[in-house]
Each structure stands twice: as structure tokens, then as C-alpha cells.
Structure 1
Amino acid sequence: MTTLEFSYSLNKLSTSLKPFAMKLTRDLDDANDLLQDTMVKAYTNRDKFAEGTNLKAWLYTIMRNTFITNYQRMVRRGTFVDTTDNNHYLNSSSVQIENGVFGNLALDDIYEAIDKLDEVFKTPFMMHFRGFKYHEIADKLQIPIGTVKNRIHIARKLLKEDLMVYKHKN
């Protein structure tokens, strides 16, 4: 895919990403910033996009990861944004922000657990994660669709066991 075709595809898909950005941020300005960050990252990393894969799923993944990274950075800093006209930043280390959705799992440990998977499980799992359908994975890997489903199921099971330490305790 040429740079021009890639840019056109990004521009065409940007409108479908806006509702997802709004759902994540719940603020119009933050959603626009997230969408812009996503488009910049996608464009600068266009060489990493595998042609023939699902561009929309790739963009959603970039957006979600960008949002999580920004959120975790904000939590680590313990920074509050004053929403008055002057937009002051007030640092406060005495306040701890907890969020059960993003605080339960450490992204680095997830990637490490995925890397530990045998290639036979990791490949179909990552293809499914990137947006491929079961039949597309089966065609690409030249294996039966039932085998694809089984390997993805086993990969999820192994990851769940490996990341059990992060299971929320009541």
C-alpha cells in the first residue's frame, strides 16, 4: 500500500474511530486529542502495518493502547487538571487514584506472558487479537478452523493462568 493510499484509508476510518474515543475519554476535547494521537502514531508506524490485515482493528488497538498509556502516566504523576479557563496543573502526591479497569493488569506483564507462549498458540492468538476472523487465520496458516479455535482457546487459558496474580481479590 502506498503512502497516499494509506493516508486515504486513515482519513476514511477516522470518523468511525471518533465514537470509540468519546467512549474512552468521555470528553470531546480529550477524544479529539486521542484521535489525533492515534492517527499520528498510525501514520508514523505505517511500515509496521501488514497489508491484507484489518486496518480498522489495528487503529482501534493503537487508540486503546494510547489511551491506557496516557491514563497510566496520569495516575503515576498524580496530577489533577483544573478545568478553569487557565488550565492549571496541580501536583499532589498525597492523593492516590485507583481504577479497577486499568489498574488490575500491568501491560508489560501481559506482553511478557504472550511472548512466553509457544509459537503454535501465539500466532493464531495474536492474529485474532489484531482483528483477523477465524476463517482468515485458518486460511493464512493452512490449518482447520477448529484447530484455530482450539489454539486460541488454549492461549487464553495459558495467559489466564500466567496472569492469575492480577486477579482482583474482594
Structure 2
Amino acid sequence: MSTLEFNNLLVRNADFLRPFAITLTKDSEAAKDLYQETMFRAISNQDKYNVGTNIKAWLYTIMRNIFINNYRRKVKQKTIFDNSANDFLLDYQQAGTVNHTESALRVKDLYQAIHNLPEIFRHPFQMYLDGYKYHEIADMLHEPLGTIKSRIHFARKMLKSQISRY
């Protein structure tokens, strides 16, 4: 197969790669990079493609392998080796200390803001916080499901505006 024929075949069958790249990366810019790297590797490894086989599967495999390799590389970059006697692996993503007093004040402010909501919004919102599902709240309050969803949404909106200083 000539290079021109291979390139035409590649371009005709590469459309499915873009959505697959977005699915893998969850980021449009990273997906573009992954797509570009896949196309580059496919062109540079043209001699490894067996004519008559499924080119979509071949491209899919290339993209998946690039993604996995990049993921593993990122994970290794976040881990450093400590050459002490115990050979521990240290991770930069360790949790820091928590200021419990500040957290308690925020929770107190949040509960105060919830208490200050109008009753029409507060009651469904508190039920939602207690773990009830939308349809359960609607059944208990004898209200339409859309009304309950709307009230909880507006309660969240009001709380965000009141507690935006954090």
C-alpha cells in the first residue's frame, strides 16, 4: 500500500477517534493532543499496519496505549523515592492539617443560613440534606416533582449568595 493510499484510508477512518479521545481524557485540549499524537504514531508506524485488517481497531489500540502510557507517566511523576533504609514511596498528594475551628465556624454559618431560608425552600432542602430523593420529598410534601427540584435549586442558589465569602 502506498503512502498516499494509507493517508487517505487513515483520514477516512479517523473521525471516531475525536469523541473517544474526549471520553478518555475528559478535557478537550488534552483530547486534541491525544488525537494528534495518535495520528502521528499511525503515520510513523505505517509499515506495521497489515493491509486488509480493521484500521479503526488499529487506531483505537494506538490511542488507548498512548493514553495509558501518559497516565502511568503522570502517576510516576507524582511519586518520589526516598532512599532511606526502609525505601518508602512518598506521595506529594498527602492531606494537610485541617483547622477544625474554622471548619466548625463554616458549618455553623451554613446551618444559620439554612435556618434563615424561607420555609417554602428550607423544608425541602433540609429533607434533601437528610438523604431523601427528589421523588420521596415530592410524595411526602404532596408537591409535583418539578416544584421540589426547583425549590431545592433556588435554596442552593440563595445559600451560595449568602455564603460566598468562603
TM-score normalized by the length of structure 2: 0.48
